[in-house]
Structures are given as C-alpha cells and as structure tokens.
Structure 1
Amino acid sequence: MGLAALTGVQAQTAAPVPDRRIAVTIDDLPWQRIDKTPPDQLGDWHRQLMQQLRQAGVPVTGFVNEGKLQGAAAGQALPATQGTVPPERVAMLRDWLEAGFDLGNHTWGHVGLSQTPLAEYQQQILRGEHVLRPLLAEYGRTPRWFRHPYLQAGTTPELRAQLRDFLSAHGYAIAPVTVDNGEWVWAFAYARVLESQPPGPERQATLLRLRKGYVPYMLNKLDYFEQQSIKLLGRNVAQTWLLHANELNAVSYADLVAATRRRGYRFITLDQAMQDPAYRRPDGYTGRYGVSWLHRWAMAEHRPKDFYAGEPVVPRWVMDLAGVESE
C-alpha cells in the first residue's frame, strides 16, 4: 500500500477530535472571602485578579453576592434595611464591566436553596440586584443570568419550576455548570497558608506547591467532564466552568487559561454556550447538594452508578491545609 493510501486509511480510522468549547463563570464577586480578607490587602488582591483576567483575554461572566459589598458572610440572613455600601467595593464590580465582562446575580447572601424557603430565596434574589441593576444600566445592560449558590437548584420538579418561573418573570436565565470542581478548596488552602504561616521559605514552598497542583487538578476535572459528555451525548457539550474570585486565581488564572487552550479548548461567552441544545435536557437530580449538569442529565436517563466513576478528587493534603473534611 502506498503512502498516500495509508494516510487515507489512517484519516478514516482516527478518532474524531472533540469540539472543545468552554465558557468561564466566576462566582462570589466582589471577593469570595471578603469578610476574612484584611481591608488593606483587598484592593491589591482585586487588582491582581483583574490583571490576570486581562492577561488571559477570554470572555467571563461574574456572579455577584451583594451582601459581600457590605462585608456580609456567606449565608447571612437579609438585613431589615439596606446597609451602607462602600463605594470602593462597588468600584470593584465596575472594574469587571469596564474590562468588558458581564455580571449576574448570585443572591444577596449566598444562601442555599436546600436550606432556604422559596419565598425568602426569592427575596434574596431581588435584594441581590439593588446595586447590580442600576450599575448594569449605566452600561446599557440588565441582569440576565442567575447562578444558584452551591449549585442547589431545588429538590423537586415543582420547586424548580416555581423558581424558574420567578426568574423568568424578572428577566433571568439560569447559568448551569458542567465542569464542577473543588477549586474553592484549593483557594481556601492558599488563603489559609497566607494567613497562618509567617513569611519565609516554608510558606513560599507551600504556596508554590498549591499553585503547581491547582492547574493540573483543574485540567483533570475538565478531561473527566469532557469524557462524561461524550459518554452521555456522543459529543463534547459546550462546557461551563465554575471558578471564584479569590487569591489563588489572582495568581494562577492566566496559567489555567493558557493550559486549557493547549488542551485545544476555545473560550466562548455564556450566551454562546447556552445555544447548545444539551442545556434543554431534563434535570434528573432531586438531591439537596450541587452537582454538574452533565450528571443531572445522566440521572434523568437513569444511568448506572458506574457511569459517574473516576471523577478526580482534591488531594487530602490540600483539604487539610484548607481545614475542610469534604469537597
């Protein structure tokens, strides 16, 4: 067989290259651990993250917890009245818009739907746009995207339908996540090392170990969900990635994007990702936790337990540094 013929056979038998597209979403704006970050360091960390975002040069949709504008901790109940919002924290959100990114609603206090009555949850959503809606209006936009905190989307079809109708009536669409991950654990570990260890070679070595482990872990998660998509759909869905505004991404985000590009991924907007017909599939998950939409779709098809096997986990040493027992 001639070289030309052999090449033709190889072309016919080679596995097709998956269509690799992904939309980045970043939760917990203006800053994930804003109640624990020293005020004199917050501005510097924010500027570092914005520099990383500009360096990476890909579309991003950020999701705002307005309670963090007032320094409220995650899960804090709604205050009786609207508190004072420091202008420098609103300026942090404005930086995202000035950089060309979009902003969505992540509730006021980052409350989980599994622990919150629907009426209170709806008020959290409305309170979560007191600053966001007029800020977006300055740029000729309106809030369009809603992200469930903890990815808790409702434990019954009826609850999900009621929330979806409420969101639609207020101009929101739900922003799903297919590439779920334990990035927050790595970030908590990074922040705790910064807070608890004195400056010096030992701390620097630990921070470097975290940075060097973080990107491969995230790529392994991406590979896993790509294969899950191919097993479920026969193709790679337009993926949606969950990250957070934190110290770790303020030093690692551009490296993560570059490594993902080397994997063959093209970065797209959330709007473009939602054009994939897979996002119209039924949600078969009725648990109280948050899971990838790929797994929700698999549950709707009653896939066996071994379908979900092999998902990468956060190493124990990282969880110990983060002070958490589970992802």
Structure 2
Amino acid sequence: MKRTLAFFTLLVLLTGHASAQRVAITLDDGPMLERTPLMSPRERNDAIVRHLTSRGVQAMFFVTVNRGADRPEGRQPLGALSQAGQLVANHTVTHPDFNDPSTRLEDFEAEVDTCDAVIRDYAGYRRFLRFPYLREGAQDTKRDAIRAFLRERGYRIGYVSIDDSDWLIDEELVAAAKSNPSLELAPWRSLYLDHLWRHAQAYDSLARSIYGREVPQVLLLHHRLLNALFLGDVIDMFRARGWSVISPEEAFSDGAYKVAPRIPRLDGSVLETTAQALGVSLAPLREMGSERQVGEAAAALRRSSQQP
C-alpha cells in the first residue's frame, strides 16, 4: 500500500507536547464591493477592521481581484486593511476551480501572477496562495506542476484547517435582511457561533488523531456582512473558551502546514487531505454536522424572521 505524504520534518510533525488550543483568523474574497442591506461595502470593511484592531488580532486576507481590488473603490478598503496592520495574500483573480478539467494550468498560473501584481505593493503583502474552493488539483501532473510553479515564485499554500460554511449562513442572512430591515440579529449570532465552535472542536480532534498533539488551527472565514457584524464575537468566543488567537504567520510556521499530500483529489481542509494520505479516520468530523444541515438551519431562521 502506498499512501504518500511529503513532510518537511516528519519526526517533528508526528510527535510533540500538548498545549492550549490556538487559532488564526483568515478571510477570503475581499474586498467585496457587492451591496448588502445593513451596511455599505466600505462600512463592512471598516467594521471588520475594527473587530480585529480593537482586540489586537492580526488576520490574513486572501484577495480575489475581481471582487473589487481591481477598481479604485476596492483599493481603498484594501489599503485600509494593510494600513491597520492586517496581512494580504493571493486568492486569484476570478476564483477558478483548479480541480475543474476546463481550468488550464497556464491560465491558473496567470491568475496567480495577476493577483500578485495587484497586492504586492501593500505593506501587509505575504506570498501565500489560497486555492479557490480549497481545491488544489484532481490530477497528478497538474497538481505537481502548480506546486512547482508556486515554489518558483516563492509562494506557499495558505492552507485552511477549520473549513466551515460561514458563506452559506451569510447568504441566508442577507436574504433575510433584504426582506426585513429591522431583522433581529441575536439568533443569527447564536447560529453562527455554534456552527464555528462545533467545527473548531471537530477539526481539533482530527488534528490530535493525526499528530498526537495540538495543532494551531487556521480558520476560514469570508469578507462578508456576517463577519462585519459578528467577527468580534467570534474572537471573543474562542478566547472565552480558552483558545488563544494568534497571527496566521505563527500558525503557518507549524509543520502541519508544510505538507504536500499526494492523493488523487485535493479538496478541503489540510487536515482532511493529510488524514486521507495517511489513512487516518475522518470520524471526528462527523460531529460537526453537514453543510446541508447548516443551510437548512439558516434557511429556517430566514423564514422565521419573515413571519409577522
């Protein structure tokens, strides 16, 4: 049986002492210029910055250029993030699915280079790429070629360990707020925090199954209304439950993020792909519920908010 996984320092990865849980915050797809109820694009960005700076948290923002960074009105919020001490990294131009056979290697490489040209002059610029949809390749030669390209550019993969469905809750929240501008937000906050906490616990358990130790987690969120409203609550929740909120660069320095899983299809959290490569059970993830269940709960909340 040949399950292969390239580790930089295998011995360090598979051993270590337990420590308190840690989590780093990352946000994808910003700055988003789509209009939403409750807040303008600039107000959403300013709120996210306030949540972070008021709590002394540094996050990493993975920029999708055509969401706004290619326009003057999008460069302003991107500059505000960088000036506030936040980090800026690469999430391509159009958010293509690298696992899709129609996404050509050379086109994807061009998207990485184009995004890099947009973000490289900001003070918070870091050479990390996060693959759209967390899909890093469904064919060996294509996967290996993009990894070689990234190494040549001095890039690392901006892995996620805690994958969640904040975007799905956000879609239902936006729809509810359009129908009801005086929407009661407390139930949405509770739904969101419960969702994230269950996912954090499940992925922490999976990490310990793989490595026999605590792994600093990297949380995937999105630059959306949901986090403009509740990102501060997310940070407060983790701290109240004993987790430390650390910088993404500190998290990415851990060996768990210096891996190159070699499995037929790369899709999802780095902990999932690492477990699959090593033959470790994904049973801990069954405790967090499915994306379908999250969507159903958010849709039910939207419907209840529209009732007289």
TM-score of the superposed pair, with normalisation by structure 2: 0.83
Are residue 149 (structure 1) and residue 128 (structure 2) matched? no
The structural deviation recorded for 1:311 is: 2.9
Q: Which moved more, 1:117-126 or 1:43-52?
A: 43-52
Q: 1:98 aligns with which of 83, 86, 90?
A: 83
Q: How far does the alpha carbon of each residue in 1:213-259 deviate from its partner, in whole angstroms, 9 at most, with x for none?
A: 11121011101111111122111111111011111111111111011
The structural deviation recorded for 1:46 is: 2.0
Q: Which moved more, 1:170-179 or 1:49-58?
A: 49-58
Q: Secondary structure at the match of 1:22?
A: strand
Provide the alpha-carbon RMSD of the alignment. Answer: 2.5
Partner of 2:253: 275
Q: Which amino acid aligns with 1:292?
A: S
Are residue 227 (structure 1) and residue 185 (structure 2) matched? no
Q: Which amino acid aligns with 2:109?
A: Q
Partner of 2:180: 198
The structural deviation recorded for 1:123 is: 1.1
Q: Which structure shows the higher strand fraction?
A: 2
Using CA pairs under 8 Å that are at least 6 residues apart, name the structure with larger relative contact order, 1 or 2.
2
On the 8 A contact 1:25/1:242 being kept in 2, the answer is: yes
Q: Which amino acid aligns with 1:154?
A: G
On the 8 A contact 2:203/2:285 being kept in 1, the answer is: no
Matches within 5 A, 1:55-94: 55-69=54-68, 85-94=70-79
Percent identity of paired positions between Structure 1 and Structure 2: 25
On the 8 A contact 1:284/1:301 being kept in 2, the answer is: no
Q: Secondary structure at the match of 2:23?
A: strand
Partner of 1:19: 20
Q: In the comparison of the two structures, how many residue pairs are matched?
A: 282
Q: Which amino acid aligns with 1:317?
A: A
On the 8 A contact 2:262/2:277 being kept in 1, the answer is: yes
Quick one: distance in 2 between partners of 1:241 and 1:181? 8
Q: Which amino acid aligns with 2:224?
A: N
Q: How far does the alpha carbon of each residue in 1:172-210 deviate from its partner, in whole angstroms, 9 at most, with x for none?
A: 111101111111111111112122x1334xx32xx3311
Q: Which amino acid aligns with 2:66?
A: G
Matches within 5 A, 1:164-313: 164-195=147-178, 197-200=179-182, 203-204=183-184, 207-287=185-265, 290-304=267-281, 306=283, 308-313=285-290
Q: How far does the alpha carbon of each residue in 1:19-77 deviate from its partner, in whole angstroms, 9 at most, with x for none?
A: 3122211111102xx34548x8222222222222222321211111111126xxxxxxx
CA, structure 1 residues 218+305, in 2 after alignment: closer, same or farther (shift >3 Å)? closer
The structural deviation recorded for 1:308 is: 4.4
Quick one: distance in 1 between partners of 2:287 and 2:165? 15
Q: Secondary structure at the match of 1:220?
A: helix
On the 8 A contact 2:207/2:213 being kept in 1, the answer is: yes
The structural deviation recorded for 1:143 is: 4.0
Quick one: distance in 2 between partners of 1:297 and 1:305? 10
CA, structure 1 residues 68+306, in 2 after alignment: closer, same or farther (shift >3 Å)? closer
Quick one: distance in 2 between partners of 1:50 and 1:286? 39
TM-score of the superposed pair, with normalisation by structure 1: 0.79
Q: Which amino acid aligns with 1:65?
A: T
Q: Secondary structure at the match of 1:186?
A: helix
Partner of 2:298: 318
On the 8 A contact 2:18/2:213 being kept in 1, the answer is: no
CA, structure 1 residues 266+151, in 2 after alignment: closer, same or farther (shift >3 Å)? same
The structural deviation recorded for 1:307 is: 5.7
Q: Which amino acid aligns with 2:235?
A: V
Partner of 1:77: none
Quick one: distance in 2 between partners of 1:241 and 1:191? 22
Q: Secondary structure at the match of 2:93?
A: coil
Partner of 2:93: 108
CA, structure 1 residues 27+157, in 2 after alignment: closer, same or farther (shift >3 Å)? same
On the 8 A contact 1:25/1:243 being kept in 2, the answer is: yes
Q: How far does the alpha carbon of each residue in 1:114-167 deviate from its partner, in whole angstroms, 9 at most, with x for none?
A: 121111111111121232123x2xx3x654111111001111343222111111
CA, structure 1 residues 306+130, in 2 after alignment: closer, same or farther (shift >3 Å)? closer
* Structure 1: tracts of 5 or more residues without a match: 1-15, 71-84
